[in-house]
Amino acid sequence: MDAAGKPGYRQLLRTPGAWSFVLPGFAARQPFAMLTIGIVLLIQHTSGSYGIAGAVSATAGVSMAVFAPQGGKLADRFGQAAVLVPGVLTHAASVTLLTVLALGGAPLWALFVAAVPAGASVPQVGPMVRARWAALLGDGAGATGGARASLQTTAAAFESVTDEFTFVIGPVLTTALCTGVHPAAGLLAEATLSLIGGLLFAAQRHTQPAPSRPRTPARTARWGARRASAGAGGAEKAGAGAAGAEAGGAGARGASGPRRTESGAHRPAASALGVPGVRVLAVVFLGIGSVFGGLQVSLTAFTEEIGQPGINGVLYGVFAAGNMVAGIVCGALSWRRSPQQRLLIAYPLLTLATSALWAVHAVPLLGALGLLVGLCIAPALITGYTLVDALVPATARTEAFTWLTGAVALGQAGAATAAGQLADGFGPSAGFVVPLAGTGLALTTLVLLRGRLATPSTGPVVSGSTRGVGHREAVTVD
């Protein structure tokens, strides 16, 4: 604990077992930030068209959006490793195939076909890491639940900052490899990171949440023993593990944990998409995805037009750095307003920030405006994840997070296609209209359906003792 008595990032990372999934999880989540920009840069090089590059990238993004929630649901039911291991193997093979086809001059239809499994198999490590924090910190259950529940706010801030840092590193690394080494180097690096990081992450089975599929008493007892030993002899974990074994379902997390039948077996939760608020947030995240996709393609076209393709990664990195800085600040603030109110403030600001992108033609001004857009994205993203954690039960939380990441991917895909077509037909400035259109439509939906985001909280701030990773309280950055 720090001097103020509140847990900080340092205390969070001292949680037993945390580093075992934080480091490989960071490497394994890079594909989400590297795949689409890698496809755009490679296909544009081989075809000479931003429209074709954006369309192939969009195909991968749509495929990711469609299949990601199903992967999250399977991970909730059968365990993360059972889904992740075959997933990363398939992803590495699919991305390699797409790269070979593009370099070999394969017909356009073959590129679209190869993009489907490349996108569908993107490992959803970010949602899995969030679910692991919720399980590791116990959702506030047990004798030490108060202290661990306080750490959950820190975990929420940490994951948001990590996501934003991914969008700083991923696109910059991909662009540098594609422009400085070989047009295919970005995608090959993405496949390698996905494979190595994913397998290392999946190997940390002792920190993954308990599957919600029905289990026999013998299997639940074995799971309870494994969860009880995860804390390396800590008394905090021992009590929780013993209680789980005796109940025929160790690893349960209090009232918000997996539902059980009378025999003690876990019963899978209904789809997270059945929660009305999740559907509204999916539209909100579609708009956020339109910013990512529109900027990726439009910045690429803009820097090519002015004869400085190497600064594409720098400009996008400035935008992503704004996300990261705003994420750190949001995690360290004590919020008086409810998450719903914060989202209704943050999203109009994001829409306003994108409104001038199309009119800027100077690199310094475009960089400054990109930084401002990045600063506005992080609060909207963080608040959206906060609301999911408050609206969705723990047994469907991984699926809920993947619906949101899938919505970002779908918005990114559609925006990449639209921006590519506009850039080809009317110049790079036209592509910058796409983020404004996407966020504007999403904002309209948010305002009209804001009532569906109401949470069960009795006050303006969700209580730390009843919620998992995703809400916000004051967090000390030590």
pLDDT per residue as tens digits for the range 57-70 = 888 888 888 888 88
Give 98 or 421, the one with higher predicted confidence.
Answer: 98
Average pLDDT of the residues in 275-298: 90
Average pLDDT of the residues in 159-176: 79
**Highest-confidence range of 240-254, 299-313, 458-472, by mean pLDDT?**
299-313
Confidence label for 471 from pLDDT (cuts 50, 70 and 90): very low
Per-residue pLDDT, 228: 52
- How many other C-beta atoms lie within 10 A of the C-beta of residue 425? 11
Per-residue pLDDT, 142: 39
Confidence label for 104 from pLDDT (cuts 50, 70 and 90): very high
Asked if residue 242 has pLDDT above 70, the reply is: no
The span from the CA of 39 to the CA of 187, in Å, is 7
Measured CA to CA in angstroms, residue 16 lies from 128, 233, 235, 340 at distances of 18, 10, 12, 33
Confidence label for 363 from pLDDT (cuts 50, 70 and 90): confident
Confidence label for 240 from pLDDT (cuts 50, 70 and 90): very low
The span from the CA of 444 to the CA of 288, in Å, is 14
Asked if residue 362 has pLDDT above 70, the reply is: yes
Per-residue pLDDT, 114: 95
Question: In sequence order, which residues have a C-beta less than 8 Å from that of residue 406 and are 6 or more positions away?
Answer: 64, 65, 66, 67, 68, 69, 282
Give 157 or 220, the one with higher predicted confidence.
Answer: 157
Residue 17's region, left for phi above 0, alpha for psi from -120 to 50, else beta, is left
Average pLDDT of the residues in 153-160: 72
Confidence label for 351 from pLDDT (cuts 50, 70 and 90): very high
Per-residue pLDDT, 222: 56
The span from the CA of 213 to the CA of 230, in Å, is 21
Give 18 or 90, the one with higher predicted confidence.
Answer: 90
Q: What is the 3-state secondary structure (H, E, C) of 376-414?
A: HHHHHHHHHHHHHHHHCCHHHHHHHHHHHHHHHHHHHHH
Confidence label for 348 from pLDDT (cuts 50, 70 and 90): very high
Per-residue pLDDT, 455: 67
Per-residue pLDDT, 353: 93
DSSP letter string, 285-307: HHHHHHHHHHHHHHHHHHHHHTT
Confidence label for 148 from pLDDT (cuts 50, 70 and 90): low
Confidence label for 288 from pLDDT (cuts 50, 70 and 90): very high
Residue 254's region, left for phi above 0, alpha for psi from -120 to 50, else beta, is left
Per-residue pLDDT, 276: 85
Asked if residue 262 has pLDDT above 50, the reply is: no
Is the separation of the CB atoms in 214 and 261 below 8 Å? Answer: yes
Measured CA to CA in angstroms, residue 262 lies from 259, 280, 361 at distances of 10, 35, 66
Average pLDDT of the residues in 286-290: 92
User: pLDDT digit string (tens) for 204-220?
Assistant: 888 888 786 655 555 55
Is the separation of the CB atoms in 120 and 65 below 8 Å? Answer: no
User: pLDDT digit string (tens) for 132-143?
Assistant: 887 777 644 433
Give 140 or 290, the one with higher predicted confidence.
Answer: 290
Average pLDDT of the residues in 457-464: 39
The span from the CA of 255 to the CA of 262, in Å, is 16
Residue that the structure tokens 């006050």 belong to: 459
- Name the β-bridge partners of 8: 476
Confidence label for 438 from pLDDT (cuts 50, 70 and 90): very high
Average pLDDT, the chain: 77
The span from the CA of 39 to the CA of 122, in Å, is 14
Per-residue pLDDT, 111: 94
Per-residue pLDDT, 110: 94
Shortest CA distance to 264 belongs to which of 218, 229, 207? 218
Give 198 or 161, the one with higher predicted confidence.
Answer: 198
Shortest CA distance to 71 belongs to which of 114, 126, 20, 33? 126
DSSP letter string, 54-76: HHHHHHHHHHHHHHHHHHHHHHH
Residue type at 250?
Answer: A
Average pLDDT of the residues in 70-75: 84
Q: Percent of the chain beyond pLDDT 70? A: 76
Confidence label for 149 from pLDDT (cuts 50, 70 and 90): very low
